[in-house]
Structure 1
Amino acid sequence: MAEKKQRILWEVGCEGHTDAWVVAENWELATVEAAAFWGVPWGKVAARCECKQRIPGAPRNICCRCGKIYYGSSHMCDVCQKTAETEEYLLQRARRRGYRTGKLV
């Protein structure tokens, strides 16, 4: 009989990136999903990832950021998903600009 895979919600943090909320079976897959969310190769962030929060058996259709009830298959509502993507984009843009101007080394 096939085992039912547990739904675990992870909050993954990494230096230089915003926190990513991902659903994965284990920590390794959570880092892979977080790297995909950040749009970077997994090998560049795997060693720097840290677990900020782990929620086994996370409820469905309740947003992990704002706590509102929504209808969809993701772990965040559409508004929070777009907000998280925008925050990551702005952070990466600010870091690129900092490196380009010499303020970050």
Structure 2
Amino acid sequence: MAATKEKRIAWFLRAPGCGLAVVAAPNYEQATVKAAELWGVPWGKIVSQIEVERTAEQKPNVCVECGGVYNYSRDALCERCRNRKRREHEEMRKAAGAYRRREFYRKGKKQ
């Protein structure tokens, strides 16, 4: 029996408060699980809010974000794009935390 090569698709997924996640998976269900893991949130709580921005067929060793060629990983993104996405996610989390702290202190001073 010959092993069938399953097609890998790059999924661009977005959820409220989580930003854009680019994951490589053969189907939507596996893509949402990987995106929730990337965002660091429970899959069951966010799965209904995930929206697909677009999909692209993943070519081997070609980054779907920048189009650069790399040959050390089966991910959809090269290392540079993966680090950039990680930094964007961290900055967004920090900004959300600062906003919550600001609102907490603002409400406390009014009372």
2:46 maps to what in 1?
45
Equivalent position SS for 2:84: helix
| Per-residue Cα deviation, 1:24-76 (whole angstroms, up to 9, x for no partner) | 121111111001111111122111100011123x1011111111111221221
Decide which structure has the larger Cα Rg and report it.
2
Q: Distance in 2 between matches of 1:98 and 1:36?
A: 24
Unaligned runs of 5+ in 2: 105-111
Unaligned runs of 5+ in 1: none
What percentage of residue pairs aligned between the two structures are identical?
35
> How many pairs align?
102
RMSD, aligned CA? 1.6
- How many Å apart are 1:80 and its aligned residue? 0.8
Task: With the length of structure 1 as denominator, give the TM-score of the two structures.
Answer: 0.87
- How many Å apart are 1:3 and its aligned residue? 4.2
- Runs of 4+ deviating beyond 6 Å: none
Q: Distance in 1 between matches of 2:85 and 2:36?
A: 14
8 Å Cα contact 2:23/2:34 also seen in 1: yes
